[in-house]
């Protein structure tokens, strides 16, 4: 059995309740997503293995993923803290991203309970806080409702992990058939969190829901937050432009899976904290982002 076959099989078994997955191929040098596959059915996951293996082995890109469903990712857990975290939460899948560094997919809600993104994010932040309060460590910057994790069965291509012989560490997975922890307190903490989103008046001709727009924006921001410059942007319109650029990058290439400028305009209109619901403002952001993309393509 090949490494990617074994990794995907463990991913499927550990996250058995996940109906679909989102997968991204990323360049660890700059954090940019070069290819993405949305809504991959659970049983179709092995079919993407050969394509992902080529991106990873031949092109030098890393593979990350996120399951659809009631999971949050807790990142940067040391081996010494694994037992403690397993006792605290319902960990469906442990992923070793590099020596002595783990990611935990924590099961938090019943499958039939759909919660808004801000409550899921609150659960992720609460999990990190509880781990730190217990003497352990987890990455607070990765506590998000849309955080992606390393996919088992492929190599971690971060430059910092390159070995002397030019190889990279494999991303491995471990499953726990019995849950030692409980999700009751974590779920209640999420349900008690206040809604942080503004109320947006949606125009009648808008086909996208607010939830869908928030999810797309969260996906883009999860990539941008890996870069230092994005966190230093004080102006909200500049942040909107960065999100729009990330969403639209490669939309002119067939099969890239990114959204069009029109859909991106809707995302900005429904999610911007500066002028929510203002279509003219969103269109001006798209115009600026497209001009920025065109300049980048010319330099390339």
Rounded Cα distance, 92 and 94, in Å = 7
pTM of the model: 0.64
How much is the average pLDDT of 224-243? 76
Domains of the chain as residue ranges with CATH: 3-191 (3.30.70.1790), 210-295 (no CATH)
Output the CA–CA distances (angstroms, integers) from residue 112 to 3, 69, 189, in the order listed: 33, 9, 18
- Report which of residues 16 and 95 the model is more confident about: 95
How much is the average pLDDT of 252-264? 63
How much is the average pLDDT of 11-37? 88
For 39, the token pair is: 């809504």
How much is the average pLDDT of 13-39? 88
pLDDT score of 254 more than 70: no
Q: How many Å is the Cα radius of gyration of the chain?
A: 19
Q: How many CA atoms lie within 13 A of 207 on its CB side?
A: 4
pLDDT score of 258 more than 60: no
Query: Of 261, 67, 56, 81, which is closest to residue 169 (Cα–Cα)?
Result: 56
Question: Residue 157 in contact with residue 12, Cβ under 8 Å?
Answer: no
- Give the pLDDT score at 151: 96
For 81, the token pair is: 């803290």
Question: Residue 219 in contact with residue 296, Cβ under 8 Å?
Answer: no
Residue in the structure block whose two tokens are 């560094």: 101
Tell me the pLDDT tens digit for each residue of 146-182: 889 999 999 999 888 889 898 999 999 987 644 444 4
Query: Of 106, 80, 83, which is closest to residue 184 (Cα–Cα)?
Result: 106
Question: Residue 176 in contact with residue 85, Cβ under 8 Å?
Answer: no
């Amino acid at each position: 059995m090949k490494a990617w076959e074994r990794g995907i099989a463990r991913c499927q078994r550990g996250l058995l309740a996940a109906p679909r997955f989102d997968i991204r191929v990323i360049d660890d040098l700059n954090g940019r997503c070069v290819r993405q596959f949305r809504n991959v059915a659970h049983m179709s996951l092995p079919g993407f293995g050969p394509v992902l293996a080529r991106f990873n082995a031949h092109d030098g890109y890393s593979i990350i993923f996120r399951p659809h469903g009631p999971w949050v990712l807790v990142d940067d857990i040391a081996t010494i803290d694994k037992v403690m975290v397993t006792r605290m939460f319902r960990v469906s899948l442990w992923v070793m991203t590099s020596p002595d560094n783990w990611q935990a997919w924590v099961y938090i809600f019943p499958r039939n309970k759909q919660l808004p993104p801000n409550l899921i994010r609150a659960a992720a932040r609460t999990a990190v806080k509880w781990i730190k309060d217990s003497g352990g460590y987890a990455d607070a910057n990765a506590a998000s409702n849309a955080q992606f994790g390393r996919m088992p069965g492929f190599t971690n291509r971060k430059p910092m992990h390159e070995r002397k012989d030019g190889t990279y560490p494999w991303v491995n997975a471990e499953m726990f058939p019995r849950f030692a922890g409980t999700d009751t307190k974590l779920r209640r903490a999420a349900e008690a969190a206040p809604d942080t989103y503004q109320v947006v008046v949606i125009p009648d001709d808008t086909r996208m829901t607010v939830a869908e727009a928030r999810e797309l924006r969260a996906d883009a921001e999860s990539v941008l937050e890996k870069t230092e410059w994005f966190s230093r942007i004080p102006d909200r319109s500049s942040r909107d432009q960065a999100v729009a650029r990330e969403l639209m990058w490669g939309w002119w290439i067939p099969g890239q899976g990114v959204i069009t400028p029109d859909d991106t305009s809707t995302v900005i209109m429904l999610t911007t904290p500066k002028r929510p619901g203002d279509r003219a403002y969103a269109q001006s952001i798209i115009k600026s982002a497209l001009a920025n993309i065109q300049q980048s393509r010319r330099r390339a």
